[in-house]
Structure 1
Amino acid sequence: MSRVRKLDRDFTQADIAAVTSLLDQLTDEDVMARFSLESRLGELQAALARMEEEPDLPGASAALFFGGRPVVGTRGIETEFGGSAVAKFQDIIAKVMAHEAGRLGQRGVVPNKGASSLHITNVVRGSFGFLLEEIHDQTEMLDAPLKHAVEETSRMLSAFGEPDEEKYRTAVEDIDQRVLSTAREFFDLMKSNGATLRVVAGDRDNSFGPDAVSRAAERAQSTSVEEGDESIHGQLSGTLPDAHQFEFRRQADGVAIRGKIAKSYTAEELLRFNREFVNRDAIAKVRVVRVRRNGEVVREKYTLLELEMMGIE
């Protein structure tokens, strides 16, 4: 059972306990109240039975809980804040999904944004929040990429609040600048409104108290991502065809760089590279992604795009 489904079950069980307690306090004279509460108890018990019997649907879902200044207990949330928070969370998901599909450009409209849409299907308690789910007419049409994007969004957001700086840097190695910019807006919204946050998606359940929100907002503000293509002179040390990985020694300083190889190359082509071109002078065209924190490069990621061997007749 997913954490979101478990939350729904736990809330229903809590309601059953509350209604049962009220029934125990009624006297014989409270006929109408007893009738109403017994009816409600029956509905809750039936709903709980359905939850226990029904398998988890394969679609995407997430629960967002908010606390702090914009929230009045379990009664309500400021409309402007609540609407903005859900919209920015949805925007992050759309960009993560497009980025993972290799279709997120540096600017412009997010491709296929409609396919990443979640719907608010319920209000959830435990402070105040919303249940967001993927809705399709037929369950077999549910979109696995969206589920993965929601879970990746949850993982990425949790990294911003992670107390350990090294774990944070490792977690954001693959982040895109447009995703980062929207995450910055999301955490700025939390911080400026004095809000706290809990995100439940997939197998993750992450809470952001005031300190974690401040830490996440600062990291999002001080982190930037640069991406570009570079040509590097050196020698190929070798490739791992099945893993699509390479190692290349730079001529300038002898440092070995490692990374992924473009998917356009087949395993057979990479085996040929190992046979014919290892330790031969070459020019590697690579895509470089650099993650900076307060201006300092903290992570570099290389993808081999082309390899032009020198001195081959």
Structure 2
Amino acid sequence: MPTLLSIEALENDRQFVERRRMADDSPWGTARLMWDQRLRAIDDKIAEAKSRRSAYASVALIFDGLPVIGQGDIRLDFTTDALASYQKVIAASLASQGDQPVAAKGKIKGADKSKLFIRDIVRGSMGFILEELAASQTDMFDTPLKSAVEQATGLIAKLNDASSEEFGVVIETASPRLVGALQKFTKVLRDSGATTRIVGDENRVMLGLEDINRLSERFSDVEVTEEDVLHDGILLGILPDSHEFELQLPDNQGTLKGSVTDDLTFKYVTDQAFKEQLLLKPVKAQVKYTRTSRNGRLIKQQVSLENLELRAVTDLLT
């Protein structure tokens, strides 16, 4: 169970015991002594929960609103859409931890490492505890998936608390794929009339109707687009460690710089003939531009080199 959720449950128990303790009017104080013992036991458990930590991802998604009936029933179609869209948020968050840009569409490389599994349901409300499959040997450091889960929760909380201007700044720093996934998750909640609490080990956020409507409206102003462009130029080089490229464009257009896909970097490093054929030679470069706009204004652009080929002699003569 997520640490913060365990602490929440213990604190609720403590409030109940404290109320009973204060209401005790026994002349002998026997019941009050019992409640005092309960309080000490709960305080010990809270201290233990705060000191205990797991290196693996654990998060609770707790839903309320129109899709939830009572404390034990929830619409299947909503649950499927909500959990699937949340999983995409986590996959994008995990992919965004690396130095490489993530494509705005299509399959995310390494998405299999982002899988969360339903471990339990949240008692007393309608929610699910999602966790990653822990290895048999305990890790000393947080797994990348745990970091991705906590990062996603923190980002949602930051966007929820942001002013309109701050929202734009936060969106500018996030990867376009993560922005698109958050758009979808928020839309699922709004379209279904649902609210949610997301509680992890370190971060939590509560989204009521007003929060979800505000986020959805702001996200509706955000657009993520991709464009593939073929450039002629001279390949100045590819840096394998940083996955960066430099391409000298013709007619004094300057030098185009950006990231390189893993597949192209691998071929460039391992295939010496491929490298010698292209380095400092006229090439055709397939470049993907991923742009994030808000209210029609460009706020972020990613440039990624997808492929290369030597320019034909006939092209050089024209």
Q: TM-score, normalised by structure 2?
A: 0.65
Shift of 1:178: 6.6
Q: Contact 2:238/2:244 (CA < 8 Å) preserved in 1? A: yes
Q: Secondary structure at the match of 1:175?
A: helix
> Structure 2: which 5+ residue stretches go unaligned?
96-101
| Distance of 2:226 and 2:16 partners within structure 1 | 55
Of 4, 7, 15, the match for 2:13: 15
Shift of 1:17: 5.0
Shift of 1:217: 0.2
Who is 1:153 aligned against? 152
Shift of 1:200: 3.7
Q: Contact 1:93/1:150 (CA < 8 Å) preserved in 2? A: no
Q: Secondary structure at the match of 1:254?
A: coil
| AA in 2 matched with 1:119 | R
Who is 1:132 aligned against? 129
Shift of 1:148: 4.1
Aligned-pair RMSD on alpha carbons? 5.0
| Distance of 1:30 and 1:189 partners within structure 2 | 58
Answer with 97-106 or 211-220: which moved more: 97-106
Q: Contact 2:58/2:132 (CA < 8 Å) preserved in 1? A: no
How many residues of Structure 1 are paired with residues of Structure 2 in the alignment?
295
Q: Contact 2:261/2:304 (CA < 8 Å) preserved in 1? A: yes
Of 82, 87, 90, the match for 1:94: 87
| Distance of 1:176 and 1:22 partners within structure 2 | 47
Q: Contact 2:119/2:129 (CA < 8 Å) preserved in 1? A: yes
| AA in 2 matched with 1:94 | Q
Aligned ranges 1:178-217 → 2 under 5 Å: 179=181, 182-189=184-191, 192=193, 195=195, 198-201=197-200, 203-208=202-207, 212-217=211-216
Q: Secondary structure at the match of 1:118?
A: strand
Indicate how the Cα distance of structure 1 residues 215 and 254 shifts in structure 2: closer, same or farther if over 3 A, else same: farther
Aligned ranges 1:158-177 → 2 under 5 Å: 158=157, 160-161=159-160, 162-163=162-163, 164-175=166-177
Which whole-Å deviations, capped at 9, do the CAs of 1:236-272 have from their partners, x for residues lacking one?
Answer: 35443321112334447815443211223249739x8
1:277 aligns with 2:274: no
| AA in 1 matched with 2:185 | A
1:245 aligns with 2:244: yes
| Distance of 2:5 and 2:81 partners within structure 1 | 23
1:57 aligns with 2:54: yes
| AA in 2 matched with 1:305 | E
Indicate how the Cα distance of structure 1 residues 178 and 84 shifts in structure 2: closer, same or farther if over 3 A, else same: farther
Who is 1:28 aligned against? 26
Q: Contact 2:247/2:255 (CA < 8 Å) preserved in 1? A: yes
| Distance of 1:229 and 1:253 partners within structure 2 | 22
Q: Secondary structure at the match of 1:299?
A: strand
Q: Secondary structure at the match of 1:58?
A: coil
Shift of 1:135: 6.5
Indicate how the Cα distance of structure 1 residues 218 and 10 shifts in structure 2: closer, same or farther if over 3 A, else same: closer
Who is 1:227 aligned against? 226
Answer with 284-293 or 144-153: which moved more: 144-153
> Structure 1: which 5+ residue stretches go unaligned?
none
| AA in 1 matched with 2:244 | Q
| Distance of 1:230 and 1:14 partners within structure 2 | 57
Shift of 1:103: 11
| AA in 2 matched with 1:242 | D
| AA in 2 matched with 1:302 | V
- Give identity over the alignment, percent: 19
| Distance of 1:253 and 1:112 partners within structure 2 | 44
Indicate how the Cα distance of structure 1 residues 48 and 147 shifts in structure 2: closer, same or farther if over 3 A, else same: same
| Distance of 2:239 and 2:115 partners within structure 1 | 35
Q: Contact 2:118/2:128 (CA < 8 Å) preserved in 1? A: no
Q: Contact 1:93/1:149 (CA < 8 Å) preserved in 2? A: no
Who is 1:117 aligned against? 117
1:307 aligns with 2:308: yes
Who is 2:99 aligned against? none
Answer with 7-16 or 39-48: which moved more: 39-48
